[in-house]
Structure 1
Amino acid sequence: MTTQHSDSRAASARPDEGVTYVFAVCRSTRATSAWNVTGVTGMPGGEAVRLLSSDLLTAVVQTVPGSDFTDTVWQRRLADRDEIERYARAHHSVVSAVAAHTAVVPLPLATLYHDDTRARQVLDHESDRFHAALKRIAHHAEWGVKVYEPSTPEPSQAHGESVLQPDGGRGAPAPGAGLAYLNRKRGVQVQREKRREQALAVADSVDAELRGLAAASRRLRTHGAALSGDQRVHVLNATYLVADGRADQVRLLVETLEERTGARIELSGPWVPYSFVGEA
């Protein structure tokens, strides 16, 4: 259910040859066979989005130009933030459209097979894993939670305190001023580390309480300021698989935790459970 199952990017496809792009997999039912997906917009330059059935499973697919997904073209696209976001949005749009009707296993961006026959072979070969994932995520959604360290001003120099200056500056430092200055610097560092420890403890407590509502959870790598452009200190980046009937409980719990801890907590979702389909 990852790109490991897909054929090698379509590098062997002729420029004028179409390949099968797979967005998601769901169960084959009467309702599925009756879906009208003609209005769903897929990848740029591709044919109409359609359904590809194989026994008890149905894949949501699109025939796309092989020349648009060769390794060389795709690597160049990955280097263009706007372009890769365009393709990611197109992929997610199709997955979301199908997920509005039934449980789906979303496949990674640019999951490709040389043709429909090859895609059907994969559905048959991986049938047990797809069914296990569908059972796991049915009637559940993914919720993302980010926790940030509370913003507090750095301790500043006391009013009227002398600053060490080079020789010739006004006001020579008093005896012991250098040691006092170093002690203050150490104090600032100790306070900073203490705030960090407290924030991490808050993150652990938030995670523990949310896990109590979730069927499954994952803690992800936190985002640095250089990556996100956000100068806040990020201490928790987690995602939770939550039953649809508990959505309001999640929202209320996050509000309660934010009030109780004073931390900035961001909740996003509900999303198609991308993070949990590979754990079956």
Structure 2
Amino acid sequence: MTERGPGQPSDRSALYVFAVCDAPDPAVFAGLPGVAAGEPLRLLRFGALTAIVQSVRAADFTDEVWQARMSDRDELERYARAHHDVVSAAAASCPTVPLPLATLYHGEGRARQALLDETVRFSTAMERTAGHSEWGVKVYAADAPVPGPSAAPLRPETPAGRSRPAPGAGLAYLERKRGVQARREQRHEDALRLAETVDAAFGNLAAAGRRLRLHAPELVGEGRVQVLNATYLVAEHRGAELQALTRSLRDATGAGIDISGPWVPYSFVGEV
């Protein structure tokens, strides 16, 4: 639960929570600024678990201020990177459940109680993701241009100055148009088959997987068609296998396959 309101006194503090961990080493957070310069990162114990927290000015996280920050790409990236750096440091130390960006509570007592209420979910998520990393996989097929139906050839002009289609031109035009449509449908079926093939191969290697919304054509680049955008939860000791599988699938399918990772498994801690 994130507690924000329409306005807070400028001198009032709030508690920003980055992640929940099993038994983090405080030393891994040394030198990390978090999201509030000058305020140290610290550990907040609740039950058998520990949260990584930082005191922040409540006025910096009101709904109005946060919405303005979300619309500023540079500012949002700065906060996202600061948040991710803390989560990554925690995950390198022990099993970790990352919390969403700008998870905020008004005071330690409220934070501790809210986190205690979620203890079972946190413990289940840690058990599921411990020793695993998240890998992103994007698959592209070549975007072969589809020719449009050609215009029907015309006879030389008649004495009246008018032209007429050659005999059978209408039928030829319809056949070409049907051919274009058939090729489009075939490419669509090939794309679906490629996505299923790659997803199944990575799914056999991964502990879990999620298929995400495909990127818009303008984001993937001219001449590329994205057919799969997915993320997989993979045991850390199988990272080399995943990369070898990627190379094998590229060779076998001729598709463009981009992988990214390993990452903290953000995508797989909210499903428990």
Fold equivalence (TM over 0.5): yes
Within 5 Å, which residues of 2 pair with 1:167-186? Answer: 173-186=165-178
Q: Percent same amino acid among aligned pairs? A: 54
Gaps of 5+ in 2: none
Secondary structure of the residue that 1:181 maps to in structure 2? helix
1:212 partner SS? helix
CA contact (8 A) 2:132 2:235 kept: yes
* Residue in structure 2 matched with residue 38 of structure 1 by the alignment: 30
Q: Quote how far apart the aligned CAs of 1:262 are.
A: 1.1
Distance 1:250 1:170 in 2: 66
Correspondence for 2:247: 255
Alpha-carbon displacement from aligned partner over 1:54-107 (angstroms, at most 9, x marks no partner): 231111111112111111111122222232222212211211122122221011
Letter in 1 for 2:31: G
Alignment partner of 1:148 out of 134, 140, 150 = 140
* Preserved contact between residue 25 and residue 104 of structure 1 (Cα < 8 Å): yes
Change (3 A) 1:190 1:222: same
What whole-Å deviation, never above 9, does each CA across 1:125-153 have from its counterpart, x for those lacking one? 21111111111110000111111123334
Distance in 1 (CA, whole Å) between partners of 2:208 and 2:20 is: 21
- Matching residue within 15, 39, 52 for 1:20: 15
Q: How does 1:159-198 map to 2 (within 5 A)?
A: 162=153, 173-198=165-190
Q: Structure 1 pair 180/82, CA: closer, same or farther in 2 (3 Å)?
A: farther
Aligned residues of 2:19 and 2:51 also touching (Cα < 8 A)? yes
Deviation of residue 44 (structure 1)? 4.8
What is the root-mean-square deviation in Å for CA atoms of aligned residues? 2.6
2:96 matches 1:100: no
Could you tell me whether the CA contact under 8 Å between 1:57 and 1:123 is conserved in 2?
no
* 1:6 maps onto 2:2 in alignment: yes
The question of 1:135 aligning with 2:100 is answered no
Is 2:119 the counterpart of 1:123? no
Check the 8 A contact 1:19/1:64 in 2, yes or no: yes
- On the 8 A contact 2:22/2:49 being kept in 1, the answer is yes
Distance 2:161 2:194 in 1: 46
**What residue number does 1:268 align with?**
260
- Residue 63 of structure 2 is matched in structure 1 by 71
Contact 1:10 1:112 in 2 (8 A): no
CA distance in 1, matches of 2:154, 2:47: 79
Alignment-mate amino acid for residue 20 of structure 2: V
**Secondary structure of 1:233 counterpart:** strand
Question: Is 1:18–1:65's contact at 8 Å kept on the other side of the alignment?
Answer: yes
C-alpha distance in 1 between matches for 2:154 and 2:42: 72
What is the DSSP-based 3-state SS (H/G/I as helix, E as strand, rest coil) of the residue aligned with 1:269? Answer: strand
Deviation at 1:170, TM superposition (A): 10
Change (3 A) 1:25 1:217: same
**Contact 1:10–1:113 under 8 Å retained in 2:** no
Moved more, 186-195 or 32-41: 32-41
Question: What amino acid sits opposite 1:6 in the alignment?
Answer: T
- 89-98 vs 243-252, which moves further: 89-98
Task: Show the 5 A alignment for 1:55-66.
Answer: 55-66=47-58
Cα distance 1:91–1:171, how it changes in 2: closer, same or farther (>3 A)? farther
Cα offset, 1:172, TM superposition: 5.6
Amino acid in the other structure paired with 1:189: Q
1:149/1:234 contact within 8 Å kept = yes
Q: Partners in 2 of 1:274 and 1:176 — Cα distance?
A: 61
Per the TM alignment, residue 264 of structure 1 is displaced from its structure 2 partner at its CA by 1.1
Aligned CA distance change for structure 1 residues 163 and 62 (closer, same or farther; 3 Å) = farther
Opposite residue 234 of structure 2, the aligned amino acid is V
Q: Who is 2:101 aligned against?
A: 109
Q: Which amino acid aligns with 1:85?
A: E
Residue 208 of structure 1, CA deviation: 0.8
